[in-house]
Amino acid sequence: MFWVVTPILPCATACANGQITRLNPLPHTRDVHIISRPPALQALHGCPNMTTGLHRTARRTHSFTESVIREMTRVAREHEAVNLAQGFPDFPAPELLKEAAAAAIRADINQYAITWGAPNLRHALARKYLEHYGMEVDTETEITITCGGTEAMASVMLAVVDPGDEVIVMEPFYENYGPDAVLCEAKPVFLTLEAPEYRLEKAMLEEAVSSKTRAIVINTPNNPTGRVFDREEMQAIADVCIKHDILAITDEIYEHIYYEGEHLPLATFEGMRDRTITISGLSKTFSVTGWRIGTIIAPPQLSGAIRKVHDFLTVGAPAPLQEACAVGLNELPQEYYTDMVAGYKARGEVLVKGLQDAGFKCQYPQGAYYVLADFSDLSDEDSMTFGRRLASEGGVAPVPGGSFFSDPSRGHSLARFVFCKQIQTLHEASERLKAFATRG
Ligand SMILES: Cc1ncc(COP(=O)(O)O)c(C=O)c1O
């Protein structure tokens, strides 16, 4: 779901200030100039009936298009390319979880769970937060289980962000944050972190804050940069949130997948427990992206509102799969987590070497399972053209870097590759990358 709009005069209320970009909350086709969009949106954009008549569509949808990630998945299929675009593992989920899911279905746990989550899963989660992070969480008032981290983020924003509020989103970003803010008729304010360090500077964060700022979205370990924010960066976020009375919404879906540093939940920083909404889920930790189990930890009053939104959106997450995730959290030993990280590290090394041997500039990520690589030594095409050509001619599908920025030109020479794939898949991709680079 990639979209980017730049307001044009005289209707523009937004401004581009250095690396901080404020977007119109409800971009109207007359008011905005779309500077880059995939064909699907171009077709829609040219349709005269989009804003009038029986089949007019809501304005809030007009700046959205199909996910570039899923589009690249389709291109990969069309050209039989190795799909290194979409972040789903191509190896099995833990046997324990699969058995637990089957057992739950056989035990007739097949009806609605409690809307904010099955008790077993809420208790397992509370125990995990206490054991891993020393964080005490009330199972009755502070936990909401959702249909994946995706629904968690949408429910949270709809519950705490009002029309006209500003939400700070760091870029390169995971593709949902901006559209989630737009769904709330809020204004995403993009703060660009500079390659190759993608370091968060407190002064820049301060600059992005205005009297309308309601929340900051923080994703660490990060997709797509692979950054794991260190203590200094996390403290800077905490300081700014406290100083300006802002909420932090964290996306910690890769909390157990990091190779350097440590995962530091923002909610554990002094003064932050009460102003942090912690989002995570089991999609990545248990390699079950299709199960759609997400988690939210929030103070009781905020949880109350989040639960209402979640109830009206989805009623609840799949009941038997919640039971299975509870079993996974309770019974998988520490070695499971250690082995998972070791496995990803080995995979990442194959991919990084393959990319570097083919002439890409990239470094090993600190966390998550993505490599954001610079292809400027191979081509001066824009990222979309290069990404499509790499898929169709080179047989490896990445995600074009432009799709991680509010202004795609900032990701002009970047492509993102995933490595949550079997080692032999990554070796095959490396061979293809080398052949593609040699052919030119
Ligand atoms: C940073 C980030 N947040 C959220 C998600 C979505 O998680 P889920 O599959 O649980 O909806 C992803 C998936 O790739 C992600 O990379």
Per-residue pLDDT of the chain (440 residues; tens, 9 = 90+): 333 333 322 233 333 333 676 665 444 322 222 223 333 333 334 445 677 889 999 988 888 877 888 889 889 999 999 999 988 899 999 999 999 999 999 999 999 999 999 999 999 999 999 999 999 999 999 999 999 999 999 999 999 999 999 999 999 999 999 999 999 999 999 999 999 999 999 999 999 999 999 999 999 999 999 999 999 999 999 999 999 999 999 999 999 999 999 999 999 999 999 999 999 999 999 999 999 999 999 999 999 999 999 999 999 999 999 999 999 999 999 999 999 999 999 999 999 999 999 999 999 999 999 999 999 999 999 999 999 999 999 999 999 999 999 999 999 999 999 999 999 999 999 999 999 999 87
- Name residues whose C-beta falls within 8 Å of residue 426's C-beta, 6 or more positions apart in sequence: 347, 350, 351, 354, 419
Whether residue 219 has its Cβ less than 6 Å from ligand 1 = yes
Distance 175 CA to ligand 1 centre (A): 9
Whether residue 289 has its Cβ less than 6 Å from ligand 1 = yes
Pocket test for ligand 1, best of 253, 278, 403 (most atoms within 8 A of CB): 253
Whether residue 367 has its Cβ less than 6 Å from ligand 1 = no
Written as one letter, the residue type at 44 is L
Distance 424 CA to ligand 1 centre (A): 25
The DSSP bridge partners found for residue 257 are none
- From the number of C-beta atoms within 10 Å of its C-beta (0-12, 13-18, 19+), residue 390 rates as buried
Bridge pairing between strands 294-297 and 276-281: antiparallel
Gap between the Cα atoms of 93 and 358, Å rounded: 32
Distance 288 CA to ligand 1 centre (A): 11
Written as one letter, the residue type at 376 is S
- For tokens 């009941």, name the residue: 319
Gap between the Cα atoms of 207 and 50, Å rounded: 37
H-helix segments, 255-333 = 300-314, 319-331
| Cα–Cα distances in angstroms (integers) from residue 14 to residues 17, 25, 164, in the given order | 10, 9, 12
Whether residue 281 has its Cβ less than 6 Å from ligand 1 = yes
- From the number of C-beta atoms within 10 Å of its C-beta (0-12, 13-18, 19+), residue 28 rates as middle
Atom of ligand 1 nearest to the CA of 88: 14
H-helix segments, 51-118 = 68-78, 95-106
Residue 148 and residue 290 in contact, taking contact as beta carbons nearer than 8 Å: no
Residue 259 and residue 265 in contact, taking contact as beta carbons nearer than 8 Å: no
Whether residue 402 has its Cβ less than 6 Å from ligand 1 = no
Handedness of CA 18, 213, 192, 26 (dihedral sign): negative
Atom of ligand 1 nearest to the CA of 152: 11
Pocket test for ligand 1, best of 284, 286, 295, 403 (most atoms within 8 A of CB): 284
DSSP letter, residue 11? T
For the record, the structure tokens of 150 come out as 């995706």
Atom of ligand 1 nearest to the CA of 153: 4
Query: Three-state DSSP class for 279?
Result: strand
Pocket test for ligand 1, best of 1, 67, 146, 150 (most atoms within 8 A of CB): 150
Pocket test for ligand 1, best of 88, 153, 170, 174 (most atoms within 8 A of CB): 174
Protein residue whose Cα sits closest to atom 13 of ligand 1: 87
Give the chain's domains with CATH numbers. Answer: 6-61 (no CATH), 68-92+335-439 (3.90.1150.10), 110-331 (3.40.640.10)
Residue 171 and residue 404 in contact, taking contact as beta carbons nearer than 8 Å: yes
Gap between the Cα atoms of 227 and 248, Å rounded: 18
Residue 370 and residue 416 in contact, taking contact as beta carbons nearer than 8 Å: yes
Q: At what angle do helices 148-160 and 300-314 cross, to 10 degrees?
A: 120
Whether residue 174 has its Cβ less than 6 Å from ligand 1 = yes
Protein residue whose Cα sits closest to atom 4 of ligand 1: 149
Using alpha carbons only, give the angle 371, 208, 239 rounded to the nearest 5 degrees: 90
Whether residue 276 has its Cβ less than 6 Å from ligand 1 = no
Protein residue whose Cα sits closest to atom 14 of ligand 1: 87
For the record, the structure tokens of 383 come out as 């990222």
Whether residue 253 has its Cβ less than 6 Å from ligand 1 = yes
Give the DSSP letter string of 16-70. Answer: EETTEEE--SS--TTTEE-----HHHHHHHT-GGGSSSTT---GGGTT----HHH
Distance 305 CA to ligand 1 centre (A): 22
Whether residue 320 has its Cβ less than 6 Å from ligand 1 = no
CA dihedral 5, 158, 209, 149 (to 10 degrees): -90
Residue 367 and residue 228 in contact, taking contact as beta carbons nearer than 8 Å: yes
Element (H, E) at 131: helix 119-133
Bridge pairing between strands 82-83 and 396-397: parallel
Residue 92 and residue 421 in contact, taking contact as beta carbons nearer than 8 Å: no
Gap between the Cα atoms of 376 and 401, Å rounded: 12
Gap between the Cα atoms of 340 and 249, Å rounded: 26
Atom of ligand 1 nearest to the CA of 292: 10
Task: State the distance between the two ends of the chain, measured CA to CA, in whole angstroms.
Answer: 31
Whether residue 283 has its Cβ less than 6 Å from ligand 1 = yes
**Predicted TM-score (pTM) of this structure:** 0.90
Whether residue 226 has its Cβ less than 6 Å from ligand 1 = no
Residue 397 and residue 390 in contact, taking contact as beta carbons nearer than 8 Å: yes
- From the number of C-beta atoms within 10 Å of its C-beta (0-12, 13-18, 19+), residue 303 rates as buried
Distance 150 CA to ligand 1 centre (A): 6
Whether residue 287 has its Cβ less than 6 Å from ligand 1 = no
Q: Write down the pLDDT at residue 19.
A: 62
| Rg (alpha carbons) of the chain, rounded to whole number | 21
* Residues constituting the chain: 440
- For tokens 């991680």, name the residue: 404
Whether residue 294 has its Cβ less than 6 Å from ligand 1 = yes
Bridge pairing between strands 143-146 and 294-297: antiparallel
